[in-house]
Amino acid sequence: MQQFFRRRSSFQSISRSLRRYHAGARLRIPWYRTGCAVSLLTGAVMVSLMLNGTIENDSKGRRKIIVIEDDDEDDDEEVQETDEERDERLERERLERVRNKPPLSQIFNISDFEYVAKQILPTGTWGYYSTGSDDEFSIRENHYAFGRIFFRPRCLVDVSDASTETNEIFGVKASAPFYSTAFAGSPMAHPDAEYNILRACGRENIPYLIPFQLSFPLNEFMESASPGHQNFHQVHFYTRKQVEEGPEYLGKIEKEYPDIKAFFINVDLPCLGNREKDCKIRAALDPSVDDEISVFASLDTRYEPLTWKDIDRLNKSTQIPIVLKGVLSKEDVLAAAKLGLGGCLISNHGGRQLDFAMPPIEILAQSRKLLRENGIQDKDFKLFIDGGIRRGSDIIKAICLGADAVGLGRPFLYAMATYGQPGIERAISILKEEMLRDMKLLGARRLSDLNEELVDIESLKFKGISSSDYLYNSNYTQMPPPPFRKRF
């Protein structure tokens, strides 16, 4: 199967700056004052005017301020940089930020990693990592939806021995109900790429959804896994031939890597979503830089669409549970359960595929209810979600609404880009600490105590309405406009 190997490169930053223009003209602004009347000009403006001008009387004895601006155009003229000079300057500034980034001890939440990554990553890399599709409603709504769910804590509960440890999920017992999900492009964040994630997850005892589009040969990569560290494996197919050979590939993994406990098969890739912001940012880059990024972000990439018939055939070929990755309707969740699959990962691909796809947390609430109405118990069919999770409280909300575990992608990517493996370990630790604290405040000792009675979801259905989240909004990168040939 196709493997993607490590690539190291340095990317130039891009930026757009506005040029200042000065009128350089003699400006006369009359200021009238009669009795105790107050001028329309504020005191602050008046002070500024008086400091930069002179006061005279007009022919009727009224006072006026004359402001003189320097009309020496040579003094105000700004020398415009060439594109090459600008790029070199911005790259120097970026490298200076890299050298002076905050110490890891100053990182207190997941969004802090994102902030630092935005400041130090090359513009093209940041654009590829942070982009969604089209107008990016789904990528924003993934996060905002959690802000419409509120807690209903219970009191007088002995939570002195509270724990975030999970029950077994496909034989995997982890220290917390979350995992690092699969994503492409790790070498742009760190030269050790996915090795950082595998080792950090092993040390913190949480699963890693090992990507099919891995940067290293799978056999070499798995040699770095901690003894007994159990993981999942994400799979997709580029051609019909690969689909036909799928049972052979799954059988090989099952035989050679006994610590891989589930296959997560992408079912949301009949074509790539329109990742417009990423395309706009890369279009403005030097072509050689864009070539490096396009290894992971090429619009020419094609995946082989799958059908229920394909999934049924793959499921019958292996004893390892198969999870459908990228399900977006409760009806498909029920169909997967009836087919005898292991579970579904409810996901809109981090908002990178179909824009305006519903937030996974909302589909999760609908799906678990539908499964129970059809007699399918939680232990028989597992539900996962990813997308928009930034706090331990977000994970708790998902568990309350029926998730067995949740995936995080970008947060661990940003942690790796900024601080390598120690950054990922710190991110995992932060989420565990937040979960444990919030479980105690909720009156929950174990994950099994988390249920829908502890959350209020009345506001969840009101899309587009959310409290302002400063941490999230300050890190969000807006869609850039088309650039003019000349900078103004």
How confident is the prediction along the chain (488 residues), in pLDDT tens digits per residue? 433 333 323 322 322 332 222 233 333 333 333 344 333 334 444 434 434 444 455 555 555 555 545 555 555 556 678 878 888 899 999 999 999 999 999 999 999 999 999 999 998 899 999 999 999 999 999 999 999 999 999 999 999 999 999 999 999 999 999 999 999 889 999 999 999 999 999 999 999 999 999 999 999 999 999 999 999 999 999 999 999 999 999 999 999 999 999 999 999 998 889 998 988 888 877 666 666 666 666 667 789 999 999 999 999 999 999 999 999 999 999 999 999 999 999 999 999 999 999 999 999 999 999 999 999 988 889 999 999 999 999 999 999 999 999 999 999 999 999 999 999 999 999 999 999 999 999 999 999 999 999 999 998 888 766 667 778 888 888 888 777 766 65
375 to each of 129, 330, 380, 399, 401, how far by Cα in Å?
Answer: 40, 15, 10, 20, 17
This prediction has a pTM of: 0.81
Q: Is 161 a catalytic residue?
A: no
d(CA 205, CA 184): 22
Q: Is 268 a catalytic residue?
A: yes
d(CA 428, CA 415): 10
* Pairing mode, strands 26-30 and 63-68: antiparallel
- Token pair belonging to 202: 């092993």
Catalytic residue (choose from 144, 349, 394, 419) = 349
Q: Kindly tell me the burial class for residue 101, based on how many C-beta atoms sit within 10 Å of its own C-beta (0-12, 13-18, 19 or more).
A: middle
- Quick check: 5 and 216 in contact, CB under 8 A? yes
Catalytic residue (choose from 112, 134, 192, 268) = 268
Catalytic residue (choose from 238, 257, 303, 476) = 238
Q: Show the domains of the chain with their CATH numbers.
A: 104-456 (3.20.20.70)
What's the one-letter identity of residue 406? V
d(CA 435, CA 410): 19
Q: Is 380 a catalytic residue?
A: no
